Structure 1
Amino acid sequence: MVLGLFLLVVIFLATICFLLQQHYAYWRRRGVRELRPHWILGNLAGLLSMRDSPADFMGQLYNHPDALNQPFVGIHVFHRPALLLRDPDLIKRILIKDFGKFSNRYSNSDYKGDPLGSQNIFFLKNPAWKEVRFKLSPFFTSNKLKSMFPLIVEVGSNLDAYLREQPLHNERTRCFDLEAKELCALFTTDVIASVAYGVQANSFTQPNGEFRRHGRAVFEFSLKRAAEFTLVFFLPHLVPLFGFKVVPSEATRFLRNTINYVMAERERSQQTRNDLIDILIEFRRSTQQARAAGDHGQFVFEGDILVAQAVLFFTAGFESSSSTMAFAMYELAKDADIQLRVRHEIKEALIASGGQVTLQLIDSLEYMQMVLLEVLRMYPPLPFLDRECTAEDEDYSLTPYHGFRVPKGMPIYIPCYALHMDPQYFPQPRKFQPERFSPTNRKLQTPYTYMPFGLGPHGCIGERFGLLQAKVGLVNLMRNHQVTTSERTPRRMKLDPKAIILQAQGGIHLRLVRDPLGI
C-alpha cells in the first residue's frame, strides 16, 4: 500500500512537471524567440527579488542577449505568455496605427473593491474609456490651461516665499538642505487642489495635512504597496482575490468625501470656476437630462465614476510633475554650467516681463523645455507601457516580423525606459544632455523611441499641464536660489527597487543656496 501511494505521488508529480514543461514551451512551439522562463514566476523573478528597480529589470529583459536584434520576444508574466516589443515601427503599429486592436491596458485594479483606482481613464476599458476620455479632453485645451495659469502662478509664489523663509544652516554660505521630492510634492499638491477642486490644501504651512498625507500614501512603496502594484500590472485578474487597491481605503474615503462635498457646495452656490469640478458637475447633469428625456443608453456619469477622474487628476498630477521637478533639480545640481544657463534664461525672461511670471514668459523658456524633456528621458514616470490584444474577429498578425498571430487577451509590454537608455537611439544615454532636445536634434531622433507620456490615444491627457506646472515651479524655485549637491546627494541616481512608478531610493537630498537673480 505504501509503495502504491508512493507511485501515485511520483506519477502525480511527473504529470505536473510535464504539464508545466508543456505550458512554458508556448513560445518554442510557435517558433518565436523567447527569454527562457522559470516555472511559476515566468520571467519576473528579477522583478520580485527587488535587487533592481522595475525600470532596470525591464531594461535587463530588453537588453537580454537572446533579445538583441529582435523586433519582439516572447516572455511569460508568471504563468501567462506575453510579448515584449523592441522595434520602434512595431511599437508604432501597436500604440497608434492598430490602436483599435490594442485599445485597453492589460493592467487593472478591482472594479468593486477599488472603484477610485479602477474607474479612472488610466485603467478604464473600452468603450467606457473612450467616452470618459472624450468628455475630459476639454479640460486640457489651450484656453483652459490659460485660465488655470494664474492659480498655478499663485502657488508658485507661495513656493518662492516658503523657500525664502527657510532658516539658513550656514549664514556665511547662505545655504540650507532639503529633500527635493517632498518639496516639489508640496507645490504640486497645492496646484492640483487649487486648479482641479478649488480647494486650498496649504501644504507649505501644513506639510502633513490631509491632501499631502493621502497623496503620499498612494505612492509610498512599502513591500505591501510593491506587491499591490506588481499584481495590478502583471496579474490584474488576482487583484480582487487579495483585496489589493491602487487607492488605499483611507485615501478613498477622504478623497470621495472631499470631492462630493466640493461638488455639492458648487451646485448649491451656483458659482463656476471653470475647473475640473465644474466639468464633472456638467457630466452628471448630462446624464440626468438624458434619463429625464428617456434616453437610458447614454454612458452614466454618476457617483464613483466622477470621483475617480478627480482622484486620478490629483494622484497622477502631483506625483509625475513633482518627480520630474525633483529629478531636474538633481541633474542641475550636478552640472553647474547647465544650471547657470537655465538661471540666465529665467533672468532674461523675468527682465523682459517686468519680474512677472506670465504664460508668455513660460513659453519663451526654450532651454528649460529641453532640460525637462531630457529629465523625462532619463526618468520617465512609468518605465513601461502595457496593452492587451482586443482584436475581436481574428488573432492579430505580426507579419512581416513573424508569422505569429497575437490572440485576444495577450498582454503586450513596451519598455520605454529601456528604449530611452538604448545608445542606438540616444548616445551616451546616462549622460544628461539637454541639447538632445533642441529643435534641430529632435528631428534626428528615431520616431517612437521617446515616450515619457505614452504614445497614441492612450497617451497622457495631462502632458501639457504637467510640463506647465513643472516650469512654473522651477522658475520660482530658481529665481532666488541655486541648487547644489550636499554630503547626502548620491553621485549616481539609485532607483527604488520597490517602486514601479519611478522614484529615487532614499529620496533626493540637495542643498539650496540663497542667490537671487536680482530682478
Structure 2
Amino acid sequence: MTLGTLLLILVLLLVSGYYYLRQHYAYWTRRGVPELRPRLLLGNLGGLLSMRTSPADFIGELYNHPDAQDKPFVGIHVFHKPALLLRDPTLIKRIMVKDFPKFANRYSNSDYKGDPLGSQNLFFLKNPAWKEVRLKLSPFFTSNRLKHMFKLIDEVGCNLDAYLRQQPLHNERMRCFDLEAKELCALFTTDVIATVAYGVQANSFKHPNSEFRRHGRAVFKFSLKRAAEFTLVFFLPQLVPYFGFKVVPDESTEFLRKTINYVMAEREKSKQPRNDLIDLLIDFKRSTQQAQAEGNQFVFEGDILVAQAVIFFTAGFESSSSTMAFAMYELARHPEVQQRLRAEIKNALTASGGRVTQQLIESLEYMQMILQEVLRMYPPLPFLDRECTSEDGYDLAPFHKFCVPKGTPIYIPTYALHMDPQYYPQPKQFQPERFSSSNRKLHTPYTYMPFGLGPHGCIGERYSFLQAKVGLVYVLRNHLVTTSERTHRRMKLDPKAIILQAEGGINLRLVRDPLGV
C-alpha cells in the first residue's frame, strides 16, 4: 500500500468521523427540541472542564444562556450523551415528585466493584436496593431519635465552646483571634457524626489531624484529580471503572471499613445497645438470614452496611460544616444580622436558665431563616441529577411532543434556580427575611431545593439543621464573628469543587464577647 493510499484512507476516516459526530450532535435539532449548541466531543461541558468558574456558576451559565431563556427545558450534551436541563418549576415537580417512579435513579454513579463504599451508599444506590435501604435507614431520623441525639450533639457543642475560649488571643487589646471557619466547623461536625452515628469519640478538637478528620478531609479535598473523578461520576459514570476513579479513596476506604466493622463487632459482643446507627446496621445484618430464607436477593451484609455508615460520615460532616462556615461568613459581613441573631440567642438562653436545650434550639426562628438563606446562596450540591428509568420513555406534553428515552440523564440546576431574580429578587444579597413565615408563602414552589426534592430528598435534613444550629449557638455564645484582612470581600467558589466550597477557605476573626448568660 502506497503512502498516498494511506493518506487517502486517513483523510476519509477523519472526514467520516467528523460527519458522524456532526450527525450525532444534531440529536436535539432532529427532534425539534430547543438546545444549547454543543461542541464536538465535549458537548456542553467545555466550560466545566476549563475550570474558569465553579461548577455552580457553570450550571448557572447554561441555565441563563440566551438560547434557554423562557424555555421550560433545553437539550444539552454531557460529552457525547444527550441530556436535558430543566428550567420550569412545574416540570421539575413532575419529574422529581409526581412522576418519581419514572426517574427513581440518579444518573451519577461510582464503580460498584472498585469503589464499594462510594457506590453502594444511599446517595448512589439504584432501585430496588435504594428503596429498601432508605426504608430501613429512615427510623434513624425520627423525632425520638433526634431527641436522643441532642445530648450527644450538645456535648460536642460544649467542647467547641471550650476550644474557642482556649484559643490564644492574637490581639489582647481587641481580644480577638483569626481562624479558618470551614476547618473549625468540620472539627465540630466530625466529632458529632462520630459520636451520634458510631458511638466513637473522635476528639477532633484535641487532635485536628486524627484519622477521622484526615480521611474526611481526603474525600472532599478537590485537587485536579479529585475534580476529574467527580466530573466523571456525575456526567460520565460509565467510564469511571476504566479510569479507576473513586468517590472514597483507597486509604479512606480501608480505614472506614476497618473502623465500622470493628465497632459493629464490639457492639455485638457487648450486647449493649446505644440507639445509634451502628445498632441499626446490626439489625440490618440480623435480618439477612430471614431475608435469605424468604428468597430475598438483596441482603444487608459486608460493604453494603459499611457504605451506609460512610455516607452518614461524609455527608453528615461536610454539608453541615459548609453551611455553618458560610453562615459565619455572611454574619461577619452583615453585623446587623449577627446582632439580631445574638440577641435572639441571649433571650432564649435567659429563658432557659443558661442551658442549651433542644426546645431552645427549635425556638430560634431567626437562626432558621439565616440558615435557609445561606442554603439558598450556597447549596451543598449545585445541581441534582436523575435518569429516565421508564421502559416506555417519558412524554413531556404539554411542554413538548418529545418523549424522553430510557437512560436519558436529567439535570436540575439548583444553584441557578436559587439565584434567579425571577424567584428571589436581588439574589446575590444576603436577606434572611426572605424566609420569614409570611415571605415563604410567596415563594414559587419547587425553586428551593438545597436538600433535594421528592422521595430522593436528603434523609438527614432535620438532623443537619439541628447540628448546625447547636454549633452556631456555641460559637456565638461567647464570640462575635468579624471579617479580617484575609477575608474575601466577595465569595469566590472553588472551580475544582463540584460540592460547593470557598476557594482559599473562609478566613474570619473571632472577638471575645460573651453574651453573659
- Segment drifting more, 13-22 vs 294-303: 294-303
**Number of the residue aligned with 1:140:** 141
Aligned to 1:39: 40
Match of 2:507 in 1: 509
SS at match of 2:295: coil
* SS of equivalent to 1:345: helix
What is the aligned counterpart of 1:430 among 424, 428, 434?
Answer: 428
Look up the equivalent residue of 1:454 and give its one-letter code.
G
C-alpha deviation, 1:298, in angstroms: 5.2
Kept in 1, the 8 Å contact 2:219–2:248? The answer is yes
CA distance in 2, matches of 1:251, 1:11: 49
Instruction: Give secondary structure in 2 for the equivalent of 1:73.
Output: strand
The equivalent of 1:360 in structure 2 is 359
Report the Cα offset of residue 11 of structure 1: 1.3
Paired residue type of 2:298: F
- For 1:439-454, list aligned pairs within 5 A: 439-454=437-452
Q: Deviations over 1:308-336 (max 9, x none)?
A: 00000000000000000000000000001
Summarize the alignment of residues 114-513 of structure 1 with structure 2, pairs less than 5 Å apart: 114-291=115-292, 294-297=293-296, 299-392=298-391, 394-513=392-511
Query: Residue 332 of structure 2 contacts residue 338 of structure 2 at CA under 8 Å; is this kept in 1?
Result: yes
What is the percentage of aligned positions where both structures have the same residue?
79
Cα shift at 1:296: 2.7
Can you list the C-alpha shifts for 1:325-349, whole angstroms capped at 9, x where unaligned? 0000000000010000000000000
SS of the residue 2:381 aligns to: coil
- 2:125 aligns to what SS in structure 1? coil
Instruction: Name the amino acid aligned to 1:327.
Output: F
Q: Which position in structure 1 is the counterpart of 2:50?
A: 49
Query: Separation in 2 of the partners of 1:205 and 1:422?
Result: 43
Aligned mates of 1:335, 1:514 — CA distance in 2: 18
User: For residues 219 and 326 of structure 2, what CA distance do their matches in structure 1 show?
Assistant: 20
Instruction: Give the Cα separation in 2 of the matches to 1:141 and 1:270.
Output: 23
- SS of the aligned residue for 2:171 comes to coil
Do 2:291 and 2:299's aligned partners in 1 also have CA atoms closer than 8 Å? Answer: no
Report Cα offsets for 1:66-86 as digits up to 9, x if no partner. Answer: 000000000000000000000
Query: How far did residue 10 of structure 1 move?
Result: 1.7
Three-state SS of the structure 2 residue aligned to 1:66 is helix
Contact 1:83/1:411 (8 A) holds in 2:
yes
Q: Deviations over 1:223-265 (max 9, x none)?
A: 0000000000000000000000000000000000000000000
- AA matched with 2:288: T
Q: Look up the match of 1:9.
A: 10
**Counterpart for residue 98 of structure 2:** 97
Q: Is the 8 A contact 2:97 2:455 kept in 1?
A: yes
Residue equivalent to 2:63: 62
* Aligned partners of 1:83 and 1:413 also within 8 Å: yes
Amino acid at match of 1:336: P
Whole-angstrom distance in 2 between the partners of 1:148 and 1:2? 75
When normalised by structure 1's length, the TM-score is: 0.99
State the distance in 1 between where 2:75 and 2:57 align. Answer: 19
Q: How far apart in 2 are the matches of 1:349 and 1:2?
A: 85
C-alpha contact 2:194 2:201 (8 A) present in aligned 1: yes
Distance 1:445 1:149 in 2: 31
Residues 287 and 298 of structure 1 are in contact (CA less than 8 Å); yes or no, is this contact kept in structure 2? no
Q: Give distance in 1, aligned partners of 2:261 and 2:358.
A: 32
Aligned to 1:74: 75
Q: For 2:422, what is the secondary structure of its paired residue?
A: coil
Q: Is the 8 Å Cα contact of residues 193 and 317 (structure 2) preserved in structure 1?
A: yes
Measure the CA separation in 1 of the matches of 2:194 and 2:312.
Answer: 10
Query: Which SS does the other structure have where 1:413 is aligned?
Result: strand
The match for 1:19 is 20
SS at match of 1:408: coil
Segments of structure 1 that go 5 or more residues without pairing to the other structure are: none
Q: How far has the Cα of 1:8 moved from its partner?
A: 1.6
- The whole-number CA distance in structure 2 between the counterparts of 1:398 and 1:362 is 44
In 1, the alpha carbon distance for the partners of 2:345 and 2:286 equals 44
- The letter of the residue matching 1:182 is E
Q: The residue matched to 2:147 in structure 1 has which SS?
A: helix
What letter corresponds to residue 412 of structure 1 in structure 2?
A: I
Q: Distance in 2 between matches of 1:479 and 1:10?
A: 72
> After superposition, what is the alpha-carbon deviation per residue over 1:110-140, rounded to whole angstroms, capped at 9, x for unaligned?
0000000000010000000000000000000
1:451-471 CA-partner distances (Å, limit 9, x unpaired): 000000000000000010000
Inter-partner Cα distance in structure 2 for 1:436 and 1:503? 23
Total equivalences in the alignment: 516
Contact 1:345 1:367 in 2 (8 A): yes
| Partners of 2:227 and 2:498 within 8 A in 1 | yes
Q: Hey, what's the Cα distance between the residues in 1 that align with 2:3 and 2:213?
A: 63
Equivalent residue letter for 1:380:
P
Q: CA deviation at 1:6?
A: 2.4
Letter in 1 for 2:335: A
1:90 counterpart letter in structure 2: L
* AA partner of residue 378 (structure 1): M
Cα shift at 1:7: 2.0
> Residue type of the partner of 2:151?
P
Question: Whole-Å Cα distance in 1 between the matches of residues 393 and 462 of structure 2?
Answer: 36
- Name the SS for the 1:20 alignment partner: helix
Report deviation, 1:290: 3.7
| Cα-Cα RMSD | 0.6
* SS, match of residue 246 in structure 1: coil
The runs of 5 or more residues in structure 2 that have no matched partner are: none
